[in-house]
Amino acid sequence: MSLVLDPAAQDLLFREARSANTFTDEPVTDEQVQAIYDLVKYGPTAFNQTPLRITLVRSPEARERLVAHMAEGNQPKTASAPLVAILSADNEFHEELPQLFPAAPQIKDIFFAERPARENAAALNAALQAAYFIVGVRAAGLAAGPMTGFDFEGVRKEFLDDDHTPLMVVNIGRPGPDAWHPRSPRLEFDQVVTTV
């Protein structure tokens, strides 16, 4: 084997994992979400940036407000998932860099003094962290249903502020009946990898 990770874990995280479309009503606890975050916070980012912000949508009132901003096909999934997370990028992440990257605290002002540079870095690194989060949900034995089919500006105004850019909405829970669409094809190694 070329991979050291146990084959069952490989299946759990990648080969057998799917984006779920239905969920049981089994709750997702704060302890589970904390365990997921405490695992995935170690995923690498540039300069150890941590721009990802997670807004858990738990109350019925907040869920109703969110569903109103989802694309029509995503509304039933979001309305019925045990937990929904709005993942966003904090465009003011640089304020934490002296703490998170103590080897070079001046990086905060050297690279990220201008808002456009921060927004670009936040989008890339928060997207990396969002991917780690999805894998972490799978590592917890749960299913994730990440979606970008929603009114981004509406979600930002409803749940965030001008310093946060929504990236995706993720339904989280145990998969319910008919949770999966057939797996779509993937590109083969030779279609993706070149050697120079």
How many CB atoms lie under 10 A from the CB of residue 122? Answer: 28
The amino acid at 132: Y
> Integer distance in angstroms from the first to the last C-alpha of the chain?
26
How many whole angstroms from its chain centre is CA 163? Answer: 18
Taking the C-alpha atoms of residue 18 and residue 28, their distance in angstroms, rounded to an integer, is: 18
In this predicted structure, the answer to whether residue 37 has a pLDDT above a threshold of 80 is: yes
pLDDT at 9: 96
pLDDT at 177: 92
Task: Tell me the pLDDT band of 164, cut-offs 50, 70 and 90.
Answer: very high
Domains of the chain: 7-175 (3.40.109.10)
Taking the C-alpha atoms of residue 85 and residue 73, their distance in angstroms, rounded to an integer, is: 18
